[in-house]
Amino acid sequence: MLKTKAFSLLFVVVLLFTTLCASAQGINTDTISTSHSLSLADSSQVMQKVGLSEENLGDFKQGILEKVTELTNHIAVIADKKKDLVLRNEAVTAAKKLFLSDEKIVEISSLNTTVTKKIPVRQYFSRLLNLPYYKVRITFYEIAHVSQLEKAPDGKLYGTAYIFQKFEGYDNENNLVYTDRTIKKVEVVVDQLTKSIGDQTVYIPIIRLGNINVDETKI
């Protein structure tokens, strides 16, 4: 009897502990907390006297991951109908600024057809803002994946960041009416600004996002 009580007590303690841990993490998949943006000052310290070279490719990855995380945060806010429309519009503006141009293309492929839709980034975010669902939930899986960066003949570095996303749309009775899982492959371009400060040349990396391929997947 005593043993039973002891086990029950232990179980309750463990259950409470794990639940508290989950709460403490504060992770909500449809509104992932905003990442820390890499400020230009931080970047320039990293890049001082170095420039865009093979040796320091790793230094850019952190900046790219932060850009991509920023993008996913904006997507979560834009799609979240529970949030204030002003805030969601601000997220659209902020998201567009992450790109080389808001004319960059988002190519969307579906499992059911070989025909893809191509829309400019600005239109993509506008659509996200006006999705016909009462509530949406977006889950991002391991957004921290960036391919190898490679230098191109224009002197810029090119790479691809991967966003694995699950989308769920609910009606006003909280029924799941649409779901898809996509892999967003985001082109990343790292350019640099060269500034002379006294007798020193400082290279400031500029990380921008380019075209996006959105692949619907069975996963």
3-state helix, strand, coil in the chain (%, to 5): 40, 35, 25
- Please, what is the minimum distance in Å from the beta carbon of residue 90 to another protein? 25
**205 forms bridges with which residues in the sheet?**
192
- Please, what is the minimum distance in Å from the beta carbon of residue 121 to another protein? 17
Q: Which is nearer to another protein, 121 or 146 (CB)?
A: 146
Q: What is the DSSP letter of 177?
A: E
Separation of alpha carbons 29 and 139, rounded Å:
5
- Please, what is the minimum distance in Å from the beta carbon of residue 131 to another protein? 17
- What does the buried/exposed string (b/e) look like for 66-98 if buried means 16 or more CB atoms within 10 Å of the residue's CB? bbbbbbbbbbbbbbbbeeeeeebeebbebbbeb
- Please, what is the minimum distance in Å from the beta carbon of residue 42 to another protein? 24
- Residues in the site for another protein, rule: CB under 8 A? 3-4, 7-8, 10-11, 14-15, 18-19, 21-22, 25, 27-30, 54, 107, 109, 114-116, 118, 137, 139, 141-142, 145, 147-148, 150-153, 155, 160, 162, 164, 166, 168, 181, 183, 215, 217-219
**180 forms bridges with which residues in the sheet?**
167
Look up residue 17 and give its amino acid: F
Q: Which is nearer to another protein, 142 or 173 (CB)?
A: 142
Are the CB atoms for 165 and 139 separated by under 8 Å?
yes
Q: Which is nearer to another protein, 37 or 148 (CB)?
A: 148
- Please, what is the minimum distance in Å from the beta carbon of residue 3 to another protein? 8
Q: Which is nearer to another protein, 92 or 214 (CB)?
A: 214
Q: Which is nearer to another protein, 91 or 136 (CB)?
A: 136
Are the CB atoms for 180 and 171 separated by under 8 Å?
no
